[in-house]
Structure 1
């Protein structure tokens, strides 16, 4: 690199320019070292009378015109007189700037109140040397012509490239730029800082020409590494753009189940911000309509609310000092809206990480091997739904894989990515139900944040987005606020989606004035069946309907036993005694969640609970219902035999409901109230139809009138006046309006 003395010598040998040259942009050979010999001031001539001037011309000087600036692509089409669009072979590969000795339009010819400084006439030698200073052709090759170019990227790319140069090299760049393209500047750019220099380039030329000029000057300087760096930035940007377009086409639409038909809508029209917490192990939402449930002894640390755009900010990466972010949350909390399960196709194959990436995203084939090793080439890998991965995450015995081109198994690739040994410059975002984090080794450093679902504001915004008719959206929001349990449960985006689908159906069938469903049993039944159907389809494909029913019975019995004891969480050790596979309960079914509690300062304990207390209450009611339907067993009166139940089934159904009501009324804390609502709702025709696949009996007796009569009798008796409100809700679950019930 050159020092300042060498720079000045280079400047004199190349140019010998002065301040007058800077103003004109043209090369002038000095004939003397004395300033007064360079310029002379002629006598003033009477100026043309052009009328009153509206602008101040006192500071103007009469100088020769600078060369015409390079034209943008748009101006080329409108001024063909100054642009030669063809090369020697007639091809339109470049723009040849034609410098003519003319006066610049920005200076006045012999105007009043100004000194007319006229340069000496050029000698023949000057005229000969003038040709060497003609700006180079700006070749518009396809190298930098791409739809991926933006002002922001071009500015940043040129700044980053020039910013890697030494001060001396940057001064040389400015000098060569001034010599090659003087029309771009009114004064030499030596005093310009980097930002102003690049800003001037982008102001004077379009994006691809600015990049081409930068490359040309760097090539003239012999800066091969800087040229390669600039080309690399542009290559990565083009790949990023193409990949982004592919991802938009693939994930920009989401399917909604409207009227039992899948309807695609733009993602941005549906997506609503989620409640994301900087802390994890916060436990389930325990808000309840009837009971006051004590806060579960989970994470007591102060949380910071985040949005999705906060996940991989430089500040967060620096603060956490990790490149792996685990985004956990229960089923339906909104972690994944578009899971494609793309890795499953590679199971049982020998392949490399590079092959997987290029197979899934062909746009990445433009990247070179060294790009995957570069620290400044940030690549984000998203493992969406890692809890669905069936491979064994054996971090102790799986072989080491350290290169993206190494051929190995899919399992080895996943394990080594999580180890941080493979592709160690990448960023990883993993979405998962909570149990997966307990399979990751303690010494694997990662940042865990938790998706909590919707808050009230986001819930309301979701319905405003789902319903294009604002009146319909307002009706739905008012409806779920009327039924407190619905409003609470709508903190889960999945539950909101089910409510929206049902309301869409009602509006379609009956118009905006339709009577919206008042039964919470119907919505919970759809939620449980949806999660179990997903379990059978994606997570446990070998599970038969019979096994599914048995699993729900096991989980329901546990829910009922815990509910009677007023218990809403269970330690992992106690859970094992139930005989229920925690993976089936947490990961596969999504009906339960797992987290850590802190019984004391130095001890952490794994516990499990249902995703919400009302889900536990629903499963308890389902257990009571299926026990009677399929086994003839009244859970509240265990002495009844199956044979006796078969003989007097219609009568025995009412015995079941009578004992259920009486047991609920005896619980002063109301711990069985919501479960009782669900139990009554299950005999409604619409819910019976949904539950029929879980029932082994051919037909369920119609007992709605008898059940409604039982409830009305208990209300009239008024032995438990504080519980009458819940009995009125039981009538609603039966489909009997409370106004009608009161009149009978």
Structure 2
């Protein structure tokens, strides 16, 4: 083409021949993106010149294809499936040169045929079905795109150049990452923003970042689907509350904060109504409280520098309640954390994998189908913070035979081993990849793992005083009923002390609610504390039978209780509330069955005068020891076995019995009067409560019904009238109350 012809067919003339109003917008955008002349020659200058030079050729114009079926956030009804460079300052995309007369403008219709003629290098291919998922939120999309673009480093220029080339009206080269993401989300839908970013990354050949962005979105989708799955699996945590006359209220309405200590081995609660029990010489000083929400905070979790946290506590102290609360808060987004995945696994659920070889990842995929798109790489990714909740290590079948020395060491979550191998390596922290495991267990199980596992141990101590009142106020929506229950609990120091266990609080609330439902709000509540202790005992036995011994007969259960009751009686006679390991072993009940599964005994570490470390054992609470001793005495008496073996003691009551067979309750009264410190007062109270019909109904599988209430009450009234023991009269009155008789 000669110079004259080139001048005549200049783009300036062609543009000037059109209606000026037609190009105001294009010209304004062109000016706004033109580089400043004082910056010297830059890649941007070269880029602009290159495109202007190409515009002189009449062979090709750049068009922008309109998509169908998706709307932008700002209301634009068009979206992009194939985006071609819309050059600012060149010919309108709706015109082209005629081959015979280069100055003759002919209208050009937009069609798919035209788009196919455009160079593929200027096209962004967007899959309209990609990234469509209800899990997408503005917060996630902003973070995912921002984190991806920040990894571009010096290649950020090329990404912004592509954005400017395809969307010159929206982006310029001076925008930083935050501005780019803001503009994307302002101009396009969340899905389209992700598609555009992915398409440009593909075009500039940043495939690792494409995979990174895709993985982030996949994990977000899994997170969403996992929450839905957990909401169905733990539906009782999310049901609506009901009135006091209906079923139990919702979990979130009732849940009360729990006291979690940063130190472990704090020993049993020793609050007592009658006795002053010296503080046990435990190995650790009381620690600082830990908020349950901290266990959902990845920052706090990773500060611990251990990927296995052992949360141990006595039976009924609230460990499972804490697990449920963590699940509830994560599913309902009530915890302000960046925890990506929360995966609860009860050890009882692992029984289905006995006898098979599976990888840890296969176990996750089997128990939680929504996680099947999660890979080993995802679990090890720093952007995928995962908390595994392993509840009830003491309920695992193989915990009696943990062998850390000979079990195969596994480092990968895809390595197939036996179930025992999986559990041992979970406790080692080896198959968790980048995740953290919170393992709940009863105290004894913490000593079964070797020292080099580097577990972080914390202890669940249940309710403090304020928590107990708060629980009942939440449990009973009717304020009048709530205050009546609190007053009832506080009327007995023993009941109030035992309410440090959330399980015991729940049993008391159930009983009171039953009374209110049957007899009305003003009905008198049951005065027998023995009855509530029996309910606690049966609750622990039922749990043990369900998880450990489903085929155990009542006779075997009775024998089990007799064995523990005998130890409790022997310790009571010695006025001792703990046993160190050698003595406990000699009584033939030191085994995992009694200490861990029954929930009646707890283990802790003490600091003796000579040895550096010593394991000690106590009953769940001093009053539980006294209750078991009374139960042992009562069951023994039914089988004509005399636990009061002192002949001199027999002589003291021989006259009163008129040579009849010594009555158990008379013996117990005299035994109580022997000791001014009241060490047998609670024992006597529990023994009297055994005579109550309601209590015998609960124990009917262990004993036959007997009634010595009248003769026992007469003897106690006689002692009260004698007034020879004024400091014991109050206890005698409470014994009468236990039997449900008047003074």
Coarse TM-score class (shorter-chain normalised): 0.7 to 0.9
Which of 59, 62, 77 pairs up with 1:83? 77
Distance 2:459 2:423 in 1: 22
Counterparts in 2 of 1:620 and 1:602: CA distance versus 1, 3 Å: closer
Counterparts in 2 of 1:319 and 1:124: CA distance versus 1, 3 Å: closer
Distance 1:348 1:318 in 2: 34
Q: Please name the residue that 1:355 is paired with.
A: 362
Q: Please name the residue that 1:715 is paired with.
A: 720
Task: Output aligned runs, 1:31-110, within 5 Å.
Answer: 83-84=77-78
Please, what TM-score do these two structures have when normalized by structure 1? 0.78
Deviates more, 1:293-302 or 1:449-458: 293-302
Which of 158, 161, 166 pairs up with 1:172? 158
Shift of 1:139: 4.7
Counterparts in 2 of 1:73 and 1:128: CA distance versus 1, 3 Å: closer
Q: Please name the residue that 1:544 is paired with.
A: 553
Q: Please name the residue that 1:14 is paired with.
A: none
Q: Is 1:275–1:452's contact at 8 Å kept on the other side of the alignment?
A: yes
Q: Please name the residue that 1:151 is paired with.
A: 138
3-state SS of 1:149 partner: coil
3-state SS of 1:540 partner: coil
Counterparts in 2 of 1:264 and 1:72: CA distance versus 1, 3 Å: farther
Shift of 1:247: 1.2
**Would you say 1:604 and 2:613 are equivalent positions?**
yes
The C-alpha deviation readout for 1:83-120, integer Å capped at 9, x for no partner, is: 347xxxxxxx859999999xxxxxxxxxxxxxxxxxxx
Which of 662, 681, 688 pairs up with 2:696? 688
Please, what TM-score do these two structures have when normalized by structure 2? 0.78
Q: Please name the residue that 2:212 is paired with.
A: 229
3-state SS of 2:397 partner: coil
Distance 1:408 1:632 in 2: 53
Q: Is 2:256–2:467's contact at 8 Å kept on the other side of the alignment?
A: yes
3-state SS of 1:694 partner: coil
Q: Please name the residue that 1:462 is paired with.
A: 471
Counterparts in 2 of 1:23 and 1:419: CA distance versus 1, 3 Å: farther
Q: Please name the residue that 1:583 is paired with.
A: 592
Shift of 1:160: 1.6
Q: Please name the residue that 1:334 is paired with.
A: 318
Q: Is 1:70–1:97's contact at 8 Å kept on the other side of the alignment?
A: no
Counterparts in 2 of 1:527 and 1:21: CA distance versus 1, 3 Å: same
Q: Please name the residue that 1:43 is paired with.
A: none
Counterparts in 2 of 1:568 and 1:216: CA distance versus 1, 3 Å: same
Distance 2:640 2:148 in 1: 76
Counterparts in 2 of 1:340 and 1:436: CA distance versus 1, 3 Å: closer
Distance 1:236 1:577 in 2: 55
Shift of 1:406: 3.0
The C-alpha deviation readout for 1:8-64, integer Å capped at 9, x for no partner, is: xxxxxxxxxxxx9999444789799799xxxxxxxxxxxxxxxxxxxxxxxxxxxxx
Distance 1:31 1:142 in 2: 38
**Would you say 1:307 and 2:291 are equivalent positions?**
yes
Distance 1:605 1:22 in 2: 84
Deviates more, 1:211-220 or 1:504-513: 211-220
Counterparts in 2 of 1:558 and 1:33: CA distance versus 1, 3 Å: closer
**Equivalent residue pairs, number:** 642
Shift of 1:634: 4.7
Counterparts in 2 of 1:212 and 1:704: CA distance versus 1, 3 Å: same
Counterparts in 2 of 1:304 and 1:199: CA distance versus 1, 3 Å: farther
Shift of 1:206: 3.2
The C-alpha deviation readout for 1:246-299, integer Å capped at 9, x for no partner, is: 11221241599x99x995754323322211111000001111111111110114
Q: Please name the residue that 2:19 is paired with.
A: none
Q: Is 1:624–1:634's contact at 8 Å kept on the other side of the alignment?
A: yes
Query: CA RMSD, aligned part only?
Result: 3.9
Distance 2:70 2:479 in 1: 46
**Would you say 1:667 and 2:675 are equivalent positions?**
yes
The C-alpha deviation readout for 1:181-235, integer Å capped at 9, x for no partner, is: 34445xx36253x334433433443322222232233223221111110000000
Deviates more, 1:586-595 or 1:547-556: 547-556
Structure 1 gaps of 5+ residues are 1-19, 36-66, 86-92, 102-121
Distance 2:730 2:648 in 1: 32
Distance 1:664 1:282 in 2: 31
Which of 181, 187, 203 pairs up with 1:198? 181
Distance 2:411 2:290 in 1: 33
Q: Please name the residue that 1:397 is paired with.
A: 406
Distance 1:662 1:206 in 2: 84
Shift of 1:567: 0.8
Q: Please name the residue that 2:390 is paired with.
A: 383
Distance 2:200 2:85 in 1: 20
3-state SS of 2:603 partner: strand
Shift of 1:405: 3.0
The C-alpha deviation readout for 1:629-661, integer Å capped at 9, x for no partner, is: 1234253657999xxx9xx999647x3212211
Counterparts in 2 of 1:536 and 1:190: CA distance versus 1, 3 Å: same
